[in-house]
Amino acid sequence: MQDCSPYLCPCVLFVAPLQSTCFLTRSILLSPSIILPSADLNMASILQKLITPLFSGPPELPRNKVTVVGVGQVGMACAVSILLRELTDELALVDVMEDKLKGEMMDLQHGSLFLKTPKIVADTDYSVTANSRIVVVTAGVRQQEGESRLNLVQRNVNIFKHIVPLIVRYSPNCIIIVVSNPVDVLTYVTWKLSGLPKHRVIGSGTNLDSARFRFLMAEKLGIHPSSFNGWILGEHGDTSVPVWSGTNVAGVNLQTLNPEIGTENDEENWAETHKMVVDSAYEVIRLKGYTNWAIGLSVADLTESLIRNMNRIHPVSTMVQGMYGISDAVYLSLPCVLNGGGVASVVNMTLTEDEVSQLQESASTLWDIQKDLQDV
């Protein structure tokens, strides 16, 4: 038998001829499929040397993708608030201003080390929004100092006629949260243009108004806003309705302590708090030129309830036709249960006659504008 060069067999601790080595060693030495280090490997990239792929199929689609349409002050506040709450596995940004859009995307991407969202993308083309679970619409003409939200309506309707069909084309199963003002009318417009069921088209509504109300009331009472329970319903704006009959702290109804609370006969003038809620957006705009942080936090709160299927109750804008004697097809804020499917149900609050009347007035105010909209 011809001798072979000796090799060290890993199974025995001595030098042995090839014939006497173990099966494992002979296989490694003789198999043509085993490639030992060579010049070819030295030519490989760092990535090829570092990573060995085990799966070569198509990439997995995102499960909780969120798109924000519009990268203005409000849009970016929504985006950052959603990122900081760790709600999405992919964030997409869309806008018509290409340079600003790219800059905002890069700025967020550079902070990826401090976030838990693995992918942040942006484009002027709506294909980047494909497979979104939630789409937050903030695009539109900015509200000017002293301008009523309702005065914005037709200008923003024309913008929505371009935006909404593209959203639905690329994400037909999404839930849309409308933030642009006037939010109640534009939520109705979005519902009509999208063809989506009404429970999947939501307006941010009075979720922020209620937060402002709870903050201002709690500040007067010397407690944290989460410890004061109170609701603002109806329009997100001048005709919003404070539900004084439902205000309470730790189950203690404030109306039992002061039956005149919120009325003209109230010596403590609690109604001034609601006036501050209505005026607060105008005041912030006067001081800094726009509102963004509070609405961004509010939208992230809504997104969390939807993404995490929480069945939490929020005052958001939904179709109210047939409720509280409202016959017109309008979107207004009522307490809604939000879960993974959108608006699961509406809570039937026990309102006073005056509160119902105010809610109907709020609906009429919106309908007077809405009925004259063109091309919806």
Alpha carbon distance 92, 67 (integer Å): 5
Whether residue 74 is annotated as binding a ligand: the answer is yes
Alpha carbon distance 263, 247 (integer Å): 14
Whether residue 289 is annotated as binding a ligand: the answer is no
Torsions phi, psi of 315, nearest 5? -80, 95
Give the model confidence (pLDDT) of 298-350 as tens digits.
Answer: 999 999 999 999 999 999 999 999 999 999 999 999 999 999 999 999 999 99
Give the model confidence (pLDDT) of 218-269 as tens digits.
Answer: 999 999 999 999 999 999 989 999 999 999 999 999 999 999 999 999 999 9
pLDDT over threshold 50, residue 1: no
Domain that holds residue 199: 66-203
Number of neighbours of residue 199 by Cβ within 10 angstroms: 17
* Helix (H), strand (E) counts: the chain: 12, 16
Exposed (0-12), middle (13-18) or buried (19+): which is 110, by Cβ within 10 Å? Answer: exposed
Is 236 labeled as catalytic in the residue annotation? yes
- Cis preceding-peptide flag for 242 (omega within 30 of 0): no
State the sign of the Cα–Cα–Cα–Cα dihedral 192, 195, 197, 200: negative
Closest of 7, 279, 295, 261 to residue 140, by C-alpha = 295
Alpha carbon distance 260, 244 (integer Å): 10
237 and 353 assigned to the same domain:
yes
- pLDDT class of 363 with cuts at 50, 70, 90: very high
Number of neighbours of residue 317 by Cβ within 10 angstroms: 31
72 and 197 assigned to the same domain:
yes
- Final residue of a structural domain among 203, 221, 244: 203
Kindly report the pTM of this predicted structure.
0.87
127 and 186 assigned to the same domain:
yes
Alpha carbon distance 47, 91 (integer Å): 26
Angle between helices 153-170 and 183-194 (to 10 degrees): 40
| 46 is a domain residue | no
- ∠ CA 57-60-63, rounded to 5°: 170
| 298 is a domain residue | yes
245 and 367 assigned to the same domain:
yes
| 15 is a domain residue | no
Q: Comparing 122-126, 140-144, 211-215, 287-291, which segment has the lowest mean pLDDT?
A: 140-144
Alpha carbon distance 187, 137 (integer Å): 10
| 60 is a domain residue | no
- pLDDT class of 287 with cuts at 50, 70, 90: very high
Give the model confidence (pLDDT) of 175-193 as tens digits.
Answer: 999 999 889 999 999 999 9
319 and 224 assigned to the same domain:
yes
Q: How many domains does the chain have?
A: 2
266 and 124 assigned to the same domain:
no
- Coil vs helix vs strand at 115: coil
Alpha carbon distance 6, 29 (integer Å): 12
| 185 is a domain residue | yes
pLDDT, averaged across the chain: 90
Whether residue 209 is annotated as binding a ligand: the answer is no
- Final residue of a structural domain among 187, 203, 219: 203
Q: What is the pLDDT of residue 278?
A: 96
| 232 is a domain residue | yes
Active-site residue among 199, 236, 274, 314?
236
Within 13 A of 188's CA, how many CA atoms are on the CB side?
Answer: 24
Task: Report residue 309 as tokens.
Answer: 């299927």
Q: What is the pLDDT of residue 155?
A: 84
194 and 258 assigned to the same domain:
no
220 and 348 assigned to the same domain:
yes
| 50 is a domain residue | no
Alpha carbon distance 333, 362 (integer Å): 10
222 and 364 assigned to the same domain:
yes
DSSP states of 333-354 as a string? EEEEEEETTEEEEE------HH
Give the model confidence (pLDDT) of 53-95 as tens digits.
Answer: 998 888 889 999 999 999 999 999 999 999 999 999 999 999 9
Whether residue 376 is annotated as binding a ligand: the answer is no
Amino acid type, 121: V
213 and 157 assigned to the same domain:
no
Give the model confidence (pLDDT) of 10-50 as tens digits.
Answer: 333 333 444 444 433 434 344 444 343 444 556 789 999 99
291 and 242 assigned to the same domain:
yes
162 and 222 assigned to the same domain:
no
Whether residue 325 is annotated as binding a ligand: the answer is no
- Final residue of a structural domain among 180, 203, 226: 203
All residues at 6 or more sequence positions from 373 whose CB lies less than 8 Å from its CB, including other chains: 153, 154, 157, 185, 189
For residue 149, give the CATH number of its domain: 3.40.50.720
For residue 288, give the CATH number of its domain: 3.90.110.10
Place of tokens 């800094």: 288
| 330 is a domain residue | yes
Number of neighbours of residue 61 by Cβ within 10 angstroms: 10
